[in-house]
Structure 1
Amino acid sequence: MILLLALLIPALAVRIEGTVRLSEIGLYRVGYRIGDGKPVDLGLGWTGHFEPVAGVSYTVWEEQDGVPTILLHCPWRRGGGTAWVDYHLRLPEGRRAKLVFGCSMWRKPEIQRGSDGVTYAVYLNGREAFKKHIRRFDWEWHEIDLSKFAGKELTLRLEVGPGPRNNPSWDYSLWGDPMIVVEGEAPRPKPPEVLKVTLEGLSNDPSLGVKPSVHYRFSNGAERVGDEFRFIYDGEDCELIYVVRPREGVFPAEVEVRLDDEEPFYAFKPGYVELEGGRVEVKGVEVESFEDGRLRLLYAFGCGDEVKRGEGTFWIEGKTLFFEFRTFEGWASKVEFGGPVAGLRRSIFVPYLFETGVFYLPTQRAFCSVYLDFTRSDASYLRPTASFYLRKTDGTRNPVRDVCLFTVSREFPEVLRNIPWEPSPYFDLIGDRVVFDIWGGHLAEDAEWVRELSSYGISKAIMLKHVWQRYGYDNALPTTVPANPDLGGDEGAKKLSKACRDAGWLFALHENYIDFYPNSHEWNPDEVALNPDGSWRKAWFNRGTGIQSYAYKNWAMAKYARKYSPEIHRRYRTTACFYDVNSCAPPWLHLDCDAREPDAAMFKGRMKGNLELFKVAREAHEGPFFGEGNKHFWWAGLVDGVEAQVVRKEWAPWLVDFDLLKIHPQMVNHGMGYWSRWQDDPKGYWRGMPSPEKMDKYRAMELAFGHAAFIPTELWRCLDWVLKEYYLTRPVQARYTRAKARRILYEVDGQLVPSSVALALGAPLERIFVEYDSGLRLWVNGSEGIWEVEGRKLPQFGFLALADDFEAWTALEPGGEFAVDFCLEGRKGRVETLFANGRGFPPERGKIAEVSPSVELQPMAPRRFRITYRFKVGRRALEEVTSRDLTVFVHFVNFEVSDRDDGIVFQHDHRPKLPTTRWEAGAEVVDGPYEVEVPEGVPDGRYEIRLGLYDRKGRVMIEGLDDGSARYKVGTLVLKGGRISFEPPPSEVEVGVRGRVNFERKPIDFGYLITAGVVILRRAGEGRFELITHPRDAEFEIGLRPGMIDEGFEGGIAIEAFSKDGRSLGRVDLRREREIIWFRTVPDAARYLIAPQRP
């Protein structure tokens, strides 16, 4: 439809009362002009990326440098031109206002190479206010004064064009967070009224299919009033009316939404149907029938000289207006059902929810959602408001069949879709287990480490072993058996399986039935899915081998699972299984368009293939089925658990409602995703591992989202992480994995409020309280400040969990200097299990030798200096140094000067004067002095001195400020005009460590015991306890209050130490100070037995 936009805008003014982002304005029109042609209107509220005629885009895009963006792309398909978006606004009277925005190209290599820039322009009531051709990839910021429009209506246009060369290639033009900034305080937004704070009835209900749940008693009705049809929700909370007016030229209809006495808004806008060449016009629409609450409409679409027909049906269930659309022939390539159109419309990002539009409408104080029912679709794939129909290999398309759901409510949880599958049958088996997700490593060595972990009492666990396959990871699939000989072969896999069984763990091996490799023994091109043009559909490309894999036909996935899974189970005695990819993707991944196949070019065929595959997984391995996470909500219940990778990684908002209400009742997910897919902050590492702050953050998010404890491969040899996940996280998880959320509240201005209020106020979702129907209450603090809860001070990423005879927390120690960890199952005088971590021993992976380096540097002649290296030697893990004849490497680092990835500009590597094989505990090794000259060509600057110890086997981890590669920062050399000076390393603790480590090993009083290390107490029968410590190779003191631990200890206790093989190391010397019994740990003792003292 070609229209002059200026004639359409004036009646749609949006009242601006305070600062507002343009991305939150819901009444706007997008248009374009190719060359000198006529302007084309894409409709009220249109959003999309690369529409089919001109290739125009207008959509919220990804953040760049932390700045929210709008992508406005100019025409390119049929020649260059301009694209624009018009907002018609009414500014507040008597207040100054301005438009603030940034301009930048999207920073991608192909765009940097391919675009010659974009001309950005801003028009105010048709007059140019800003115009500039920009070809830069960092933000250029601008302001335009709007004060002269105070109290008046203003048409604000953002426009982009290809510039003087009219070359629109790669013109991804971003507008950086454009907003109207109004001086003074805006009226405080009035949030919706929430009548019920508890969430009974809102947890996932498979019987409802994908329809949202309703929180209140209600009745539905439908009536005809003249030419309009009203679909009514009459509930104890509100009255909601959808008014449907069939109109020629409008698809699917004009739908007005009335919520109580609020200002009406519109649904299903802008809807349209497309051919490959563009939209078709609704030539006519007639009412076929209005019976039993259903309105049936017949549509006539103009397709050139032809008329195509379709059928639509409206009806209401709960607060949801349904619209089903069908065509009688396969002619449509896309159906856009549209979304809400209102003056102000804020899109809400919901973690773990996909292909669903969720919005808050501030003027109406209402939430709404729009999405398509994936269980009732014949489409090739879906987007939140649209379905797409690809051609089959014979050139034909499938007829359209889709159902779109539009839901409105004052309460956010009521617009969240349900999941249609039955819940996992394995909650009781896996709900209280921690997941070990392990990739590389020799299978037999992994088995030995499982036995080592078992000696710490770790028995409730699941092993997911990924790399073991015959030809290596992601190669020659589906051929997997026998196990890879370089990793230990079948014998190694059987050893790992036995070690897991002996420890009480479930055991699963990684399988893949989605990537079909041509170098597999099973390769058959007739079993490969086809693209519409008949070519093979590509799957994963293995960069290591250079081999491209291809997608299976829908039925072939289960065929090969039936062949290999039972054999894997037989050989290695698996008790669970892991299938890669399928569970993390939507149903249309690797669509098969082969016209010879049933359900060709329909994702329901792919979905049937997945359902059959998932059934094989459980049956073949006689246990739970795990998979890869991300878009796993599509399969929740059919899959028993995934690593819960989250979009936006560690920066994802802590909006937990959808996960806790809908996914949580269906499956037991673990972690927040593979660590490398979660941590996004490159500075958040310490000693070659994630910093203690990042570890606390990961655990806090894991708990807030209700997930199971997770040990990623990066940390499975970090006992600090393993023990905290097992003894701190797992007991909390055991109390919520089988429970339903009863209340979910967010702290806003000192008050706990439901998500509906927090979202309406635009509050940061950083402090969360969840109450489960198991009785567990959980507080998690994601904000920078201290949150005082129930007598505990929770630092950022701290938590508190309480239930009957249970408490667990990461909170500040009594002095308020740093965080410590505690978990108690039981009560005073009747402890069952107790975990305390005084954080006196920082996390380490492998052994860190107790060797602390430092340097002394004295300037000499120009560009020359004298340097002395000192190494303070302790006792712990000293054999890591003394068993090897190590070299001292010294790097002078400046990343701006160096062209190397490691930043090295010059070096002073040398053999220490006293060989490391002769270093002794308690000594300070003085190495030097040495005279060093700065090489010619090294410019003035700051050169950080980073050193370490190494030999041909690699670097040794020692104590100090590790840059992540076992290089330790000991100071900075400053070169200026040939003169040299030295700056020692900063004494302050690094940000990711500050307040997270007890560096002075100050004993922490946990009430039941006192320690700076890790202590685990477990009841080992009536009146007897097993005590486990970490680290085992360190000596530290533990104070016990026996009467608090067990009433039977009032008469005194005896403690006996045991080695890992069960050999007694004798009784431990005890000393009493009032009610406290003190003892010192025995190096290398694996456990201690505490019993009442015998007379």
Structure 2
Amino acid sequence: MNDKSNQELSVRVNWTFDEAAQIAEHLKNDLKLEKVLFLMGGWIHRGYDNQHPDILPAAPECGGNEGLSDCARRVRKLGYHFGLHDNYQDMYRDSPSWDESYLTKHRDGSLAQGGKWGGGRAYLTCSRKAVELARRPQNLPAVKELVGDCAYFIDTTFAAGLTECFDPKHRLTRWDDMRWKQAISDYARELFGMFGSECGREWAIPHSDFFEGLTGVSGQHYHNANLMTKVGGVAIPLFEMVYRDCIAAYGKYGYDPAKAADYVLHHISIGRPLHYHNIPQHLYWKEPGPKKQTPMPLRPAIADLKQTAPDRFSVTYQWSVKETPPTNWRVFVHFTDQAGNIKFQNDHAPTTRWQPGEVRQGPFEVIVPTGLTGIFEIRMGLFRSLNGSRAALEGPLDGESRCRVGRVKIDSDKITFQPLEQSPVQNQMDPAVFTHADQGWAEDLHPLDRFVKNTYEILSPLNELTSQSTMTEFEFLTSDYKVRRSLFGEGSDALAVVVNADHLPYLYKSQSGEEIELPPFGFLIESPVFVAFHALNWNGLHYDEPAFFTLRSLDAQPLSRSKRIRVYHGFGDTRLKLKGTMRNVAKEIMIEGP
């Protein structure tokens, strides 16, 4: 809708209710996921973020009330929690119930505006009146009659800060606003059996079962992806240390699984399950998955870099060319901070006349921005001028089709080049690593399914084992804060997690005393009944390439004594040494007996 909500701009159906139910059935029957919170948005009459608070009948394009009811029944039949998204903060001008008497008023009597969403410009409902709207027979009571018990999600309830309303008929202080938001939460929770909302607040914990948006946003740790760089800070999971055993928590919004390895490590380190808000349209797994881009046989390097003035240096680049590039590309050179943010650059000549062999370009003079000091990574690649698309190259990529080729250290009066350290797996930071499934359980599946299955096999048992435990320890094991260790619980039943978000391997001494080599985006989870790792060795067995396994005791006995152990193999070498026996795990195996 347009800003005034009086002109429809577009209509798009991502899934019908029948397709949504088929997705849930696919997760259960094909991916073998046992524990799922299946939350559905966009089901209301006009679709997502439209015409609130008038939600019924359910979207006719998706199957109407009958389709919604059937979808809920089919999802619950799988043993999943079925949930619906709703909103009682936003009201739109084209809503049949539009009435300014419901809205929050500023001190001058003007209407409090919200954001511009799918339904146009939203106006903010007074939280006291929101409870009144939710209780109407055509709202939550009618939904309950259609779908029965479910996990009801009322958006923005906890996300927006507490506010005042100056309408003389329903004045609110911030304290009143909190109490009415708690009241709508309690009502939905009592009616449906489970309730959640966006983000989360301390005052909301006793009134909710789950928060959405606290563990991450759009594949980042925070709404502001550059927050830590901007403030020069380091993130400490304080909420997890204090409240993790009080409430379930998830992230929110979509993200790209091919760039999500660091996001996965973040959730491993805090013991929380992932959210999967990036489901493709319709029955995606029945369509061909995206083709993997084959790297071009080109590799960049720094041939020479030397200072020429206090604020500038000359640099010559060298390319190892195995085959002439098939089309013309331009070279980009980014000088970035450790997080990959560009601080200055040196894009230059195209690949027009490149022939197999060694190609040198330069020297180029690069001027350092005024006042800029520090250590900056040099990341190179090829791009098309017309659309900005980048080529896949050979070499240590950073997840954005940029090869790391070295660092430049800039002091107030000195500029020096630092080559990258050499290691068999150094700099091989593949942010798509959890979409891999070579020789693993999900090898022949859609890329999204590979990602979902791999991460579920780590995070579901991890969360189950730690959700009612406190985070008793959290520490950084390296000075750059890239390697983190968490401990959940105490004593012999404690569970330890270490994750490596660095571009170099990290040696970690495990609970057994063995030094485990964690590659970039590697991790190790250790507890008496559950072990998981993405590592170059485990239990005395070394791997040429990183391997990913999980092991879980199914009889509640420690793995060393368990007579029923399930082993899941995600990718890499299929060999696993357990209880003195070498085993081959192509996908998964059940080890029974002593």
Whether 2:45 is the aligned partner of 1:491: answer no
Q: What is the correspondence of 1:936-947 to structure 2 with a 5 Å cutoff?
A: none
Map Cα deviations across residues 878-897 of structure 1 (whole Å, 9 max, x no partner): xxxxxxxxxxxxxxxxxxxx
Report deviation, 1:787.
Answer: 2.2
Inter-partner Cα distance in structure 2 for 1:566 and 1:664: 32
Report deviation, 1:823.
Answer: 3.3
Report deviation, 1:784.
Answer: 2.4
Partner of 2:162: 587
Change (3 A) 1:810 1:583: farther
Change (3 A) 1:637 1:779: farther
Whether 2:125 is the aligned partner of 1:552: answer yes
Inter-partner Cα distance in structure 2 for 1:690 and 1:442: 24
Partner of 1:479: 54
Partner of 2:500: 781
Change (3 A) 1:769 1:478: same
Q: Which runs of 5+ in 1 are unaligned?
A: 1-438, 677-688, 750-762, 840-1001, 1018-1024, 1026-1044, 1049-1095
| TM-score normalised according to structure 2 size | 0.60
Partner of 1:1046: 592
Inter-partner Cα distance in structure 1 for 2:264 and 2:202: 21
Inter-partner Cα distance in structure 1 for 2:131 and 2:239: 29
Report deviation, 1:620.
Answer: 1.5
Whether 2:403 is the aligned partner of 1:675: answer no
Change (3 A) 1:837 1:654: farther
Change (3 A) 1:654 1:450: farther
Whether 2:484 is the aligned partner of 1:767: answer yes
Inter-partner Cα distance in structure 2 for 1:1006 and 1:593: 69
Change (3 A) 1:708 1:637: farther
Secondary structure class of the residue paired with 1:669? strand
CA contact (8 A) 1:743 1:771 kept: yes
Report deviation, 1:610.
Answer: 0.6
Q: What is the correspondence of 1:339-378 to structure 2 with a 5 Å cutoff?
A: none
Inter-partner Cα distance in structure 2 for 1:806 and 1:784: 27
Partner of 1:157: none
Change (3 A) 1:654 1:452: farther
Change (3 A) 1:512 1:651: same
Partner of 2:110: 535
Partner of 2:224: 648
Change (3 A) 1:654 1:711: farther
AA aligned to 1:617 is: A
Q: What is the correspondence of 1:704-743 to structure 2 with a 5 Å cutoff?
A: 704-714=269-279, 718-743=448-473
CA contact (8 A) 1:440 1:467 kept: no
Change (3 A) 1:795 1:593: farther
Secondary structure class of the residue paired with 1:777? strand
Partner of 1:612: 183
Partner of 1:658: 238
Change (3 A) 1:441 1:595: same
Report deviation, 1:1003.
Answer: 4.2
Change (3 A) 1:638 1:656: farther
| TM-score normalised according to structure 1 size | 0.33
Report deviation, 1:642.
Answer: 2.2
Inter-partner Cα distance in structure 2 for 1:697 and 1:1006: 28
Secondary structure class of the residue paired with 1:675? coil
Map Cα deviations across residues 95-151 of structure 1 (whole Å, 9 max, x no partner): xxxxxxxxxxxxxxxxxxxxxxxxxxxxxxxxxxxxxxxxxxxxxxxxxxxxxxxxx
Q: Which runs of 5+ in 2 are unaligned?
A: 1-12, 217-221, 286-447
Change (3 A) 1:566 1:649: farther
Secondary structure class of the residue paired with 1:521? coil
Partner of 1:824: 552
Q: What is the correspondence of 1:284-363 to structure 2 with a 5 Å cutoff?
A: none
Partner of 1:800: 524
Inter-partner Cα distance in structure 1 for 2:577 and 2:151: 39
Report deviation, 1:580.
Answer: 0.7
Inter-partner Cα distance in structure 2 for 1:577 and 1:618: 7
AA aligned to 1:817 is: E
Report deviation, 1:633.
Answer: 4.5
Inter-partner Cα distance in structure 1 for 2:475 and 2:125: 45
Whether 2:584 is the aligned partner of 1:836: answer no
Change (3 A) 1:720 1:713: same
Change (3 A) 1:675 1:475: closer
Inter-partner Cα distance in structure 2 for 1:701 and 1:608: 33
Inter-partner Cα distance in structure 2 for 1:666 and 1:471: 36
Map Cα deviations across residues 8-52 of structure 1 (whole Å, 9 max, x no partner): xxxxxxxxxxxxxxxxxxxxxxxxxxxxxxxxxxxxxxxxxxxxx
CA contact (8 A) 1:838 1:1004 kept: no
Partner of 1:626: 196
AA aligned to 2:531 is: E
What is the aligned-residue identity percentage? 20
783-792 or 464-473: bigger deviation? 783-792
AA aligned to 1:664 is: R
Partner of 2:402: none
Partner of 2:535: 811
Inter-partner Cα distance in structure 2 for 1:521 and 1:719: 41
Partner of 1:639: 208
Partner of 2:28: 454
Partner of 1:125: none
Change (3 A) 1:578 1:798: same
**Higher share in helix:** 2
Map Cα deviations across residues 77-112 of structure 1 (whole Å, 9 max, x no partner): xxxxxxxxxxxxxxxxxxxxxxxxxxxxxxxxxxxx
Whether 2:137 is the aligned partner of 1:561: answer no
Partner of 1:263: none
Secondary structure class of the residue paired with 1:804? coil
Inter-partner Cα distance in structure 2 for 1:696 and 1:598: 48
Change (3 A) 1:775 1:448: same
CA contact (8 A) 1:808 1:823 kept: yes
* Aligned counterpart for 2:264 among listed residues 691, 695, 699: 699
Inter-partner Cα distance in structure 1 for 2:567 and 2:472: 27
Partner of 2:584: 1010
CA contact (8 A) 1:778 1:802 kept: yes
Secondary structure class of the residue paired with 1:711? coil
Change (3 A) 1:475 1:647: closer
CA contact (8 A) 2:269 2:484 kept: no
RMSD over aligned Cα atoms: 2.6
Secondary structure class of the residue paired with 1:597? coil
**Higher share in strand:** 1
CA contact (8 A) 2:246 2:468 kept: no
Inter-partner Cα distance in structure 2 for 1:637 and 1:810: 37
Inter-partner Cα distance in structure 2 for 1:710 and 1:446: 16
> Which one has more relative contact order, counting CA pairs under 8 Å at least 6 apart?
2
Q: What is the correspondence of 1:408-427 to structure 2 with a 5 Å cutoff?
A: none
Report deviation, 1:640.
Answer: 1.9
CA contact (8 A) 2:195 2:209 kept: yes
AA aligned to 1:787 is: Y
Map Cα deviations across residues 233-291 of structure 1 (whole Å, 9 max, x no partner): xxxxxxxxxxxxxxxxxxxxxxxxxxxxxxxxxxxxxxxxxxxxxxxxxxxxxxxxxxx
Partner of 2:78: 503
Name which one, 1 or 2, has greater alpha-carbon Rg. 1
Report deviation, 1:765.
Answer: 5.6
The count of residues paired between Structure 1 and Structure 2 equals 384
AA aligned to 1:614 is: S
Inter-partner Cα distance in structure 2 for 1:1010 and 1:695: 29
CA contact (8 A) 2:82 2:150 kept: yes
* Aligned counterpart for 1:445 among listed residues 3, 14, 19: 19
